[in-house]
Structure 1
Amino acid sequence: MKQGLQGSPRVPAQQRTVDVEVPRERGTAPTGVRGEHTHCERPIPQPRAVVQRSSVRGQILDALRTALVAGELKPGEVYSAPVLGERFGVSATPVREAMQQLALEGAVEVVPNRGFRVVERGARELAELAEVRALIEVPVMLRLARAVPAERWAELRPLAEETVRAASSGCVATYAESDRAFHRAVLSLAGNEQLVQIAEDLHRRSQVRHGRTDLVADASQHAALLDALTAQDLDAVRALVGEHFAGAS
C-alpha cells in the first residue's frame, strides 16, 4: 500500500478538520460523526463547522484529482484514507469523503477494509468516452457556431492561450485544469448548466497522462477551434472537435 503522495501540500492548521459538538434541540439524538469525540469540547455553531469541513474536503478533492491526472496515484494501486490523511495533515474523514466523490466519478473504486483502488482505463473505455463526448458536444458547438457572435469567441482567446502556456510547461495537472476551463467556457455559452456538468464529468474521466508533445498539439487545437467557430465553418468545427476528443483517448 502506498504511503502517500510525494510533495503533497499540507492543509493549513486553521482549516483542518476539528472534532465538534453540534448544538441540538432538546430531545433529539446526538449528531456527532462516527469516530469523533464530542465530550469536553466547546460547542461551535453548526454553519461554521460545516463550512470548515467543506473547505478541507474541497481542498483534498482538488489535490487528489491533481495527483490522479499527474500519475502520482497509480492505476491499480490501493490507497487508504488514514495514510493519505496523514500525508495531507488532516484526519481520515475528509480524505474518505473526497475519495467517495472520486468513486462516484469513476476515478477510484472502494476496496472494503483496505481503501480505494485507482481505476485503470483501457483503450476501449477511453475510446467510448471520446465517442460519448463527441455525441454531446459536437451538436452543441455547431449550434453555437451559428448563433454566437464573433466578439464572444474573441473573449475566450485568453483561455485558449492559457492552455498553450500550460501545455508548454509540461505539467500535466496544470494543463488538465486549463483544458477543462476552456471547454467549460465554450459550453457555458449554451446556457445549460446540466450540459456543462455532464460534459465536465466525461472530460475528467477521459483525461490521462500525455507526453509534452501531445499536450502542446492538443492545446493548439483550441485556437483553431475558435477560428472555426468565429468563421461559422461547421465542417471545420466538426472535424476539429472529433480530432480533439480522439487525441484525448
Structure 2
Amino acid sequence: MTRLRPLGRQETFREQVRGALRAAIISGELRPGTVYSAPALGARFGVSPTPVREAMLDLAREGLVVSRRNKGFQITEMSEEDLDHLTAVRLLIEPSTVRDAVPVIPEADLPALRGLAQNIVDAVEHADLIAYIEADHVFHLALLAYSDNRFLVDVVAGLRAQTRLPGLTPLLRGGALGRSAAEHHELMDLIEVRDSAGVEALMRRHIGHVRGLWAHGAER
C-alpha cells in the first residue's frame, strides 16, 4: 500500500500529498480514465480525505485530473500522439538549456546536486516508484533553474507533469529503471568536468527513454 514519505524541510503537508498524487498519476499507479474518491485515496495514502481533496483540486488546475461532481476525480488520459508531442517539446528545451547552464553551476553546488542524483538511485533500490518520480522531478528542475528563467522552469515542470510513464513497474523489475537512474550520476560526472556537449547529448538520450523505453515498458 502506498504511503507518504516523511515531510521535507520547508514542505507543507498539502504539497507533499500533491507531489505524491502527481507521481502516482505519472507512474500509472493511478490509472487514466479512472475516477477516484478523496476518501479512497486518503485510505490508500494513509491520510485524511481533506488534504487529498485539496491536492486534487490543485492537480485539476494543472490538467492532470477532472473533478466529477459527487463522484471524485477522474485521471485525464493522454494519447500516444500527445506523449510524442510532449517529448518533442522537452527535447527542444531541456538539453540545450542544461548545456548552457553547465558553465555557471557553482562548484559549491555540485555536492548537493550529486545528492539529488543519488536520491533517484535510492528510490529505485527501494522499489519506490512514487519517490523515484519525485526525485527525478526535483533533480531535473534544479538543473534547469540555473538558466535563471523561471518561466522556462514552469513550462518544463508542466510538461513533465503531463507525461505518463505506465511502463515503469516492469522496467523496475527487469533492472532497466536502475540503469536509467544511474544516468543521473553520469550526467553529474559530465557537469563536474564542464563537458557541456556531453551533457546535452546525454540529456537527449535520457529524455528519449521517456517516450521510447519507459512509455512501453520494453527491455533494453
Say what the alpha-carbon RMSD is for the aligned residues: 2.9
- How high is the sequence identity, in percent, across the aligned residues? 35
Q: Does residue 71 of structure 2 align to residue 109 of structure 1?
A: no
Give secondary structure in 2 for the equivalent of 1:170. Answer: coil
Within a 5 Å distance, the mapping from 1:14-163 to structure 2 comes to: 57-81=14-38, 83-84=40-41, 90-91=48-49, 94-163=51-120
Spell out, residue by residue over 1:46-67, the C-alpha distance to the aligned partner (whole angstroms, 9 max, x if none): xxxxxxxxx5644542442343
Query: Following the alignment from structure 2 to structure 1, what is the Cα–Cα distance between the partners of residues 162 and 82?
Result: 10
Q: Does residue 191 of structure 2 align to residue 229 of structure 1?
A: yes
Kept in 2, the 8 Å contact 1:74–1:118? The answer is yes
Residue number among 198, 214, 219 corresponding to 2:155 in the alignment:
198
**Do the aligned partners of residues 185 and 215 (structure 1) sit closer, same or farther apart at CA in structure 2, a change above 3 Å counting?**
same
**Between Structure 1 and Structure 2, how many residues are aligned?**
199
Kept in 2, the 8 Å contact 1:69–1:172? The answer is no
Query: Following the alignment from structure 2 to structure 1, what is the Cα–Cα distance between the partners of residues 121 and 47?
Result: 34
Amino acid at match of 1:223: H
Query: Following the alignment from structure 1 to structure 2, what is the Cα–Cα distance between the partners of residues 198 and 100?
Result: 20
**Do the aligned partners of residues 86 and 161 (structure 1) sit closer, same or farther apart at CA in structure 2, a change above 3 Å counting?**
closer
Q: CA deviation at 1:140?
A: 1.6
Tell which deviates more after alignment, 170-179 or 118-127: 118-127
Q: CA deviation at 1:172?
A: 0.9
Residue number among 182, 203, 211 corresponding to 1:241 in the alignment:
203
Q: Does residue 176 of structure 2 align to residue 214 of structure 1?
A: yes
Kept in 2, the 8 Å contact 1:170–1:215? The answer is no
Query: Following the alignment from structure 1 to structure 2, what is the Cα–Cα distance between the partners of residues 8 and 230?
Result: 35
Query: Following the alignment from structure 1 to structure 2, what is the Cα–Cα distance between the partners of residues 145 and 135?
Result: 17
* Structure 1 runs not aligned, ≥5 long: 1-5, 10-54
* Structure 2 runs not aligned, ≥5 long: 5-11, 212-220
Amino acid at match of 2:203: V
Query: Following the alignment from structure 2 to structure 1, what is the Cα–Cα distance between the partners of residues 184 and 143?
Result: 10
Amino acid at match of 2:66: E
**Do the aligned partners of residues 200 and 214 (structure 1) sit closer, same or farther apart at CA in structure 2, a change above 3 Å counting?**
farther
Residue number among 175, 178, 183 corresponding to 2:140 in the alignment:
183
Q: CA deviation at 1:146?
A: 3.2
Give secondary structure in 2 for the equivalent of 1:173. Answer: helix
**Do the aligned partners of residues 149 and 62 (structure 1) sit closer, same or farther apart at CA in structure 2, a change above 3 Å counting?**
closer
Give secondary structure in 2 for the equivalent of 1:126. Answer: helix
Give secondary structure in 2 for the equivalent of 1:189. Answer: helix
**Do the aligned partners of residues 73 and 235 (structure 1) sit closer, same or farther apart at CA in structure 2, a change above 3 Å counting?**
same
Kept in 1, the 8 Å contact 2:41–2:52? The answer is yes
Give secondary structure in 1 for the equivalent of 2:147. Answer: coil
Q: Identify, as 1 or 2, the structure richer in helix.
A: 2
Kept in 2, the 8 Å contact 1:127–1:246? The answer is no
